[in-house]
Amino acid sequence: MSTLQRDPDTRVEILDEDGRVRDGATVPDLDDAELVEMYREMRLGRHFDQRAVSLQRQGRMGTFPPMSGQEGAQVGSAHALRDDDWIIPSYREHAAVYGKDVGLAETLQYWMGDERGNQMDGKPVFPAAVPIATQIPHATGLAWASKLKDEDRVFMCYFGDGATSEGDFHEGLNFAGVFDTPSIFFCNNNQWAISVPRERQTASQTIAQKATAYGFDGVQVDGMDPLAVYKVTRDAVEKARNPDGDAPRPTLIEAVQYRFGAHTTADDPSVYRDDEEVEQWKDRDPIDRLEKYLREEGILDDERIETITDEIEDEVADAIDAAESTERPDPAGIFQHVFDQQPARIAEQQAAFERLRDRHGDEELLE
C-alpha cells in the first residue's frame, strides 16, 4: 500500500477502515433505500464473482475477469448517474453495468463465449471492451456528439491504471479537454495491470494529476469507500451536465483500490505479488465498511442482511440457469458484428468455415 500514490490535495475519503465517518467528512445525501440498494448490488457483485470463477474452474465458462475488491468503485460511481447517462466500460465492470439493466445472465453468456450476451440494444451502455483503452476515444466521441445534439447526458468511461499508458488515453482526454465534452474518465487504479505494478505504469505521483495536462480537474478518491466514490462522481456529473449553462467540463477520477483475485482466471497472481499485500488491502474491503456503517446507522441489521443474502444467492443461481439453458449460438456468429461490409479475407474464412460445417455439423465443430 504505497503512500507515494496519495494525493494530499484532491484525495476524498469519507469512511475509515472500520466504516466510521472520518473527522470532518460529510456523508453524501442518499436515502436509506438507495444505501441499501448500493450495499445489495455490492454483495451481488461479490457473490456473482465467486460463482463465476467457480463455473470457470468446472469448465462451464471461458476466461473470466473477477472484480472482487472493486465493488465500491463500481456501484458508488454508477449510482451517481442518471438513468439515461451512458456507461462505456472495460471488461471488468460487471457491477457497474448491472445498474444499466445489463443482466447477470447476459454477462455470463458473453464470458461463456456467446456474443449475444454483449448486445446492449436500447440500453445506454457500450459492450465490454477487451482491447485496453480503445473505449476511451469512443467515449469522448459519444460525449461530443451528444453535446452537439444539445442533450444533457453524461458519458462515464471506465478503464484501468494500465490503460493510462496507451495513446488512446491521451487522445481521448486531450480531445475532451479541448472540446469540453460531458465526460467522466473513471480510472480503476487497482494497483496492477496483470503483473505490472502501478509504479511501473507511470512516473507521475498520481494518476489524477494527469488531468492537469489536459486542462480539467482530476480527483483522487478512496476507491474502496463507496460513499466517497459516490460523492466525487456526483461532483463530476454536475460539472459535465452543467446546470448553469456554461460549457460542460470533463473530470478524471482516480479510484485507488485493489483487485483481490487474479487478473483473469487465466492468471496466477501468486507469482508476482505477496499474500501480505493482498491481506492488507482486504482490511479495507468496501463491503465490510459499508455494512458496518449501515449497521451503526440502524439501516441494516442481521435479519435484513440475511434476507439480502438469500435474495442475491437466488438471483445469481437464476442467472446461471438462464445462461446455461440458452440455446447455443450459431458458430458463424464469430464472423459477424465486426465489419459492416465483410472484407474479402474474412469472407474467404467464412466460406472455409461453412465447408467444414457441412462436413462435420455444428455440434462437432463446437466441441
Closest to ligand TPP by CB, 146 vs 190, is 190
Map residues 297-336 to x or -, x wherever contact with ligand TPP holds by CB under 6 A: ----------------------------------------
| Secondary structure element (H or E) that encloses residue 98, with its range | helix 94-98
Map residues 161-200 to x or -, x wherever contact with Mg ion holds by CB under 5 A: x----------------------------x--x-------
DSSP string, 240-293: HH-TTSS----EEEEEE----S-SSTT--GGGTS-HHHHHHHHTT-HHHHHHHH
* Cβ neighbour number for residue 118 with a 10 Å cutoff: 16
Residue 120: which of 137, 135, 141, 140 has the closest Cα?
A: 135
User: How many binding residues for ligand TPP (CB under 6 A)?
Assistant: 14
Q: What are the backbone dihedrals phi and psi of residue 366, each rounded to the nearest 5 degrees, phi first?
A: -70, -30
Which of 93, 161, 222, 285 touches ligand TPP by CB under 6 A?
Answer: 161
Q: Which residue is nearest to Mg ion (CB)?
A: 160
Q: Which residues belong to the active site?
A: 259, 263, 272
Residue 90: which of 177, 6, 12, 166 has the closest Cα?
A: 166
Cell numbers for 130: 477487451
Cell numbers for 347: 469472407
Least distance from ligand TPP to the Cβ atom of residue 343, Å: 21
Under the criterion CB under 5 A, does residue 160 sit at the interface with Mg ion?
A: yes
| CA pair distance 135, 68, nearest whole angstrom | 22
Considering only residues 1 to 30 of the shown chain, the ones binding ligand TPP according to CB under 6 A are: none
Least distance from Mg ion to the Cβ atom of residue 271, Å: 17
* Cβ neighbour number for residue 359 with a 10 Å cutoff: 9
**Of 48-56, 77-85, 158-166, 342-350, which part binds Mg ion (CB under 5 A)?**
158-166
Least distance from ligand TPP to the Cβ atom of residue 160, Å: 2
Which residue pairs, CB below 8 angstroms and at least 24 apart, start in 358-362?
362/328, 362/330, 362/331
Map residues 186-215 to x or -, x wherever contact with ligand TPP holds by CB under 6 A: --x-x-xxx---------------------
**Of 107-115, 130-138, 247-255, 278-286, which part binds ligand TPP (CB under 6 A)?**
130-138
| CA pair distance 49, 58, nearest whole angstrom | 14
Least distance from ligand TPP to the Cβ atom of residue 185, Å: 13
Per CB under 5 A, residues contacting Mg ion are 160-161, 190, 193
Interacting residues toward ligand TPP by CB under 6 A: 92, 130-132, 160-163, 188, 190, 192-194, 263
